[in-house]
Structure 1
Amino acid sequence: MTAPLLSETSLRVATMATDLSGEEPGDLYRDLLTRTDTEALRVADAISVANPDIVVLTGMDADPDAVNTFISDYLNSPDDEHTDVGYAYSYLAIGSSGVQSGADLDGDRVVGGPGDAWGQGAFAEQSSTVVLSKYPINQPDVVSVSALKWDEVAGNKLSSSELSGAVAASIPVMHNGLWDIPIEYRGERVHILAAQTEPAQSSYGFGAPRQKDQLKVISDYIAGEDYVVADDGAKAGGIDENRIVVTGALAQRTEFTAAALALGDELGRDDALNDSGNFVIPNRGWNVLGQGRIGAEAPEDFQLLPGATPESIETSDLIWTDVQF
């Protein structure tokens, strides 16, 4: 059953952690061409049920051919029982993951390969973030923060990472990146801040202190702290007076759930929905009308606040929140 829209003026924002990734460039596209990819069908099922206006998919290769195939052959396939969901706009985030560090980051005494790349990526587009939207994305105004160095973060925790020398001076703070994606919604600009922080399976010994600083960068970007410099060299100007939704895989390592929830508190949203490290956090500029999650067994209806708690739905995969001006 499709989760109903609450009104004609509500915006449904969703996120879902996926495993839509290949070992080499083009692998995902080739897998999706079969129209039988199990993970793609699972993700499409959840999106079809929730029917979000904007969905942030983490862990997906930012491959245009793969994304277009996913939309056409899984979300809008005439050969399945899904309710078709159309997305005219997309943003494929490519950050620092997959760029070789030149050092033995994973401690295997061999330099090279995914373990020694920033973000442990085999190639630049691997396991990144894909944003699908029913509303126009202002592509020229998208801000990417992926090259910011860890040692440039004010009050950083780099000293507790045991990194030193050239690696400490060059390592980016973000696991892959932070993206401020402006959506044009009913004459207003909405900022979707999508991020994918340190993954649960990270083998880096410095993952814990860097995770904390990744969340700090998100907060400081919103606040307009000068040290947060975008990839194009512009300093963060601050967006705390605008409508913002922070979303993505913010705390897949469970010990950082509290830190991610603290980010929600900063935004005036102590009721932000989260599950398994995935978050949808609107700032105080929104009215939250409802929220829920879609898993193997979809809920019969949306959950009105304050009833939507992590225990209220049996299986959780995709999470969504309805917001309104």
Structure 2
Amino acid sequence: MRVAVYNVALSRRGAGVLWRDLDRVRDGRGDAQIEALLQVIPRLGADVLVLTEFDHDPEGQALGAFTALLQAPPGADAPAIAYPHRFAGPVNSGQPSGIDLDGDGRTDGRADAWGFGAFPGQKGMAVLSRFPLGPVTGFRGLRWRALPGHHLPLREDGTPFPSEAAQAAMRLSSRAHWVVPVQLPGGVAELLVSHASAPVFDDAHDLNGRRNADEIRFWQLWLDGTGFRADSGETVVRGPAPVLLAGTLNADPFDGAGAQEAIAALLAHPALQDPGPEGPGGVAAAGQGANAAHRGPPARDTADFRDTPAPGNLRVDYLLPDARFTVTASGVWWPAEGEEAALLAAASDHRPVWVDLKPPAP
């Protein structure tokens, strides 16, 4: 069984634009990025695929159009793959809060949404699966303040930033945190899905960096058995099923501005295992100067940030199986050169991370 996570960078400037672009591809009018993704994803061949940075609409029109194109792509020789089961729920990004959440005196900016975004659903998430999916438990509405040991920002005088009222309302998830049951051949496993804040564009209060750290820490506390109030209104704790943590966590354990201590602690959690997926493209990029002064292994980088020199390439996309799974292979699909390398570069600035595994015995 192959599980993969892929930040597909399918975010557009306005609501409905992604759906429009997908329809254009269906009608033969073309979109270079989408056409590249339609080549990459079938070749990846994942049985369960977590997509991040995929614009969400309430009716699921964009995801429906995308999966239809994957199953029946334009072009006689195009590869195809079918995902009969899928999930995409609402996310916090772009959802107006009506509150000044960044301290600029306004309540209608992108940073005043529950998660940064230009419109509701921008840069959402989705799960595609060949196996049936069960009822999803979401924590999109969880207040940041409800996280034990939270790191909400403070002003120099020790008062809450940007205000007490804002901190009382702030949500933890910049998109969402989902627990998605998957009926695997060997029994049920639970996907733990999230896309954490980018820990940049901050002032001295480090709001985004602190949120990034606590979004990652949520999963550590969940794995430890801490219960949280779900969107259903119930307090939910982790069950006995094995887990597969998958998402874009926007933190590298060695380099960049992300929460290095938080991601390192998650990677070392005894309930999980880190297969350490690698790809030759990250090494090649480092040899071309992408990772000057970086300490981490470039083979494990998952995002090509060479056009933004400050961070360099980083490991920000993760697939961490339960320690009870048997991992048979893993990788970051990032060739060093050639046709495949060009195809993946056209598809996204991130690269797919995949793990082949055997479920634990029932």
Q: Which amino acid aligns with 1:52?
A: A
Whether the aligned pair in 1 keeps the contact of 2:7 and 2:350 (CA below 8 Å) is: no
Bigger shift: 178-187 or 272-281?
272-281
- Given that 1:181 and 1:193 are in contact with CA atoms closer than 8 Å, whether structure 2 keeps it comes out as yes
Secondary structure of 1:67's partner? helix
Q: Displacement of 1:107 after TM fit?
A: 5.0
Residue 317 of structure 2 is matched in structure 1 by: 278
* Structure 1 residue matching 2:331: 3-state secondary structure: strand
Over residues 10-52 of structure 1, what are the superposed CA-to-partner deviations in whole Å (9 max), with x where a residue is unaligned? x211111122122322111001111122222232222122110
> Of Structure 1 and Structure 2, which has the larger fraction of its residues in strand?
1
Which residue identity lines up with residue 264 of structure 2 in the other structure? L
One-letter amino acid of the structure 2 residue matched with residue 318 of structure 1 = P
Q: What's the counterpart of residue 132 of structure 2?
A: 136
Determine if contact 1:106/1:203 at 8 Å carries over to the other structure.
no
Residue 151 to residue 66, structure 1, CA distance change in 2 (3 Å): same
Instruction: For residue 264 of structure 1, report the CA deviation from its aligned partner.
Output: 2.2
In structure 2, the CA distance between the partners of 1:298 and 1:243, relative to structure 1 (3 Å rule), is farther
Deviation at 1:224, TM superposition (A): 2.6
Alignment of 1:285-304 (within 5 A): 285-295=324-334
1:122 and 1:101 map into 2 onto residues whose CA distance is 13
Q: Is 1:20 matched up with 2:32? A: no
Matched, 1:186 2:185: yes
Give the whole-Å Cα distance in 2 for the aligned partners of 1:42 and 1:208: 32
Q: Does 1:232 align with 2:223?
A: no
Instruction: Note closer, same or farther for the CA distance 1:80–1:317 as it changes in structure 2 (3 Å cut).
Output: farther
Q: How much has 1:67 moved relative to structure 2?
A: 1.1
TM-score by length of 2: 0.75
Residue equivalent to 1:208: 209
Correspondence for 1:309: none
Structure 1 residue 265 corresponds to structure 2 residue 255: no
Secondary structure at 1:208 match in 2: helix
Q: Displacement of 1:190 after TM fit? A: 1.1
Structure 1, unpaired ranges of 5+? 1-10, 301-314
Deviation at 1:104, TM superposition (A): 3.2
Alignment: residue pair count:
297
Within-5 A mapping of 1:42-57: 42-57=36-51
| CA displacement at 1:320 relative to structure 2 | 0.4
After superposition, what is the alpha-carbon deviation per residue over 1:97-154, rounded to whole angstroms, capped at 9, x for unaligned? 222232333455433132321211233322110111011111xx21001111111111
How many Å apart are 1:201 and its aligned residue? Answer: 5.4
Contact 2:251 2:263 in 1 (8 A): no
Q: 1:1-325, aligned counterparts within 5 Å? A: 11-35=1-25, 36-63=30-57, 64-79=60-75, 81-138=77-134, 141-160=135-154, 162-186=161-185, 188-199=187-198, 205-226=206-227, 228-239=228-239, 241-252=240-251, 254=256, 255-266=258-269, 267-273=271-277, 275=302, 276-295=315-334, 317-325=351-359
Change (3 A) 1:157 1:54: same
Q: Percent identity?
A: 25
1:209 partner letter: R
1:257–1:277: 8 Å Cα contact kept in structure 2? no
Alignment partners' CA distance in 2, 1:53 and 1:183: 11
Shift of 1:278: 0.3
Contact 2:8 2:350 in 1 (8 A): no
Which one-letter code corresponds to 1:322 in the other structure? D
Cα distance 1:49–1:114, how it changes in 2: closer, same or farther (>3 A)?
Answer: same
Tell me the distance in 2 between the aligned counterparts of 1:260 and 1:43.
Answer: 28
The alpha-carbon distance between structure 1 residues 83 and 197, as it changes in their structure 2 partners (threshold 3 A), is same
| SS of aligned partner of 2:259 | helix
Instruction: Describe the SS at the equivalent of 1:219.
Output: helix
Judge conservation of contact 1:296–1:316 (CA < 8 Å) in 2.
no
Name the CA shift for 1:198/1:172 in 2 (closer, same or farther; >3 Å): same
Amino acid at match of 2:130: K
Distance 1:110 1:162 in 2: 14
Q: Which runs of 5+ in 2 are unaligned?
A: 155-159, 278-299, 303-314, 340-348
Q: What's the TM-score once normalised by structure 1's chain length? A: 0.83
Alpha-carbon distance between aligned partners in 2 of 1:238 and 1:280, rounded to the nearest angstrom: 19
Question: Structure 2: which amino acid aligns with 1:249?
Answer: T
2:90 and 2:48 map into 1 onto residues whose CA distance is 19
- Which is worse superposed, 283-292 or 229-238? 229-238
Deviations 1:153-191 (A, max 9, x none): 111111547333110100001111100000111151011
Alpha-carbon RMSD across the aligned residues, in angstroms, is 2.5
Moved more, 259-268 or 180-189: 259-268
